[in-house]
Amino acid sequence: MGISRSSRHKRSHTGAQRAYYRKNRKFELGRQPASTKLGPKRIHTVRVRGGNIKFRALRLDSGNFAWGSEHTTRKTRIIGVVYNASNNELVRTNTLVKGAIIQVDAAPFRQWYEAHYAQPVTKKGAKKDAATEGAEPEKKSSHVQRKLEERKKDAKIDPLLESQFAAGRLYAAISSRPGQSGRADGYILEGQELEFYVRKLRSGKQKHAHAHAA
Q: pLDDT tens digits, residue range 78-89?
A: 999 999 999 999
- Judge if pTM exceeds 0.85: no
> With bands split at pLDDT 50, 70 and 90, how would you rate the model's confidence at 153?
low
Lowest mean pLDDT among 5-19, 107-121, 147-161, 191-205: 147-161
DSSP string, 7-22: -TTSPPTTSPPPP---
Q: What is the per-residue pLDDT across 13-36, written as a single tens digit (0 to 9) for each?
A: 999 999 988 888 999 999 999 999
